[in-house]
Amino acid sequence: HCDGLFPMTRTVRLLDYANTLSATEGGCIIISPELYRLLYGTKPSTVLIRSSDPATAKESAEHAITDDVRIQSREEYSAERVKDSRTMRLGLYAIIAAALLLTMIGISGNQLVGFESRRKEFALLHSTSMTRKQIARMIFLENGISFAISVLLSVIISIPVTLLVTNVFNSAGMGLSVTVRPLPILCFFGVIWVIIMLTARTPICRLRRMNTANEIKYE
């Protein structure tokens, strides 16, 4: 029994397997309304009706039921779930886009602060051994190395975290299937790469306008 006050043991016979991918939990079984009321002492929130003529069965149920009960065909139910899933995905994409925008703003600010703290270093390099183009290439290379280290650390950290979350959900009786799709992950890393490379334009523009003589005249 669900509340544990009146435990009950029932022997049932498995008739068929059902696709439970649309269920919110990993463990899902379909039982008759009579058995549900016997076990839980209340009406089920959802009743599945199988019919050879779904349209006629739906119309008959709508005429027979007067309570505030929603009657949906399988197609309508699936379309509603797809719509809800699409809404959730759009919200998730909006959050990701906002996070990427904030990341770009933050990295750009850090790049500017880093350039200001290294102005004399760049001026000395420009006056002794490197051209502005070579210094700009060095800034791009530094950003690329930072990106590679960040990606490597994120992959290393994400593996145990994913395993931990999966085990927690499985222990709670909620199946969590993790599917790794390389193409979306590579696209995401590609977007991050573009953002980091674009933020490198800020110090490079400052580098082009930098007066080398004024920066090193007190050295």
**What mean pLDDT is predicted for residues 4-12?**
70
Mind listing the pLDDT tens digit for each residue in 87-121? 877 887 888 888 878 877 887 777 778 777 888 88
16 by DSSP, 3-state: which? coil
Would you state the pLDDT for residue 144? 85
Q: In terms of residue numbers, what domain contains 208?
A: 90-216
Distance set, CA 2 to CA 36, 40, 61, 118, 147 (Å): 11, 6, 29, 67, 51
Distance set, CA 20 to CA 3, 29, 35, 37 (Å): 24, 8, 20, 22
* Contact residues for 78 (Cβ-Cβ < 8 A; gap 6+): 22
> What does DSSP assign to residue 4?
S
69 in a structural domain: no
**What mean pLDDT is predicted for residues 2-24?**
67
Instruction: Kindly report the backbone phi and psi dihedral angles of residue 212, in degrees, each rounded to the nearest multiple of 5, phi listed first.
Output: -60, -40
58 in a structural domain: no
Contact indicator for 212, 123 with CB cutoff of 8 Å: yes
Mind listing the pLDDT tens digit for each residue in 184-205? 888 888 888 888 888 888 888 8
Q: Tell whether the torsion through CA atoms of 60, 63, 66 and 68 is positive or negative.
A: positive
199 in a structural domain: yes
74 in a structural domain: no
Q: Is the pLDDT of residue 24 over 70?
A: no
Residues 105, 182 within the same domain: yes
**What mean pLDDT is predicted for residues 22-27?**
54
User: What's the rounded Cα separation, in Å, for the pair 33 and 47?
Assistant: 7
Number of domains in the chain: 2
68 in a structural domain: no
* Contact residues for 38 (Cβ-Cβ < 8 A; gap 6+): 8
Residues 31, 129 within the same domain: no
Q: Is the pLDDT of residue 132 over 80?
A: yes
19 pLDDT band, cuts 50/70/90, is low
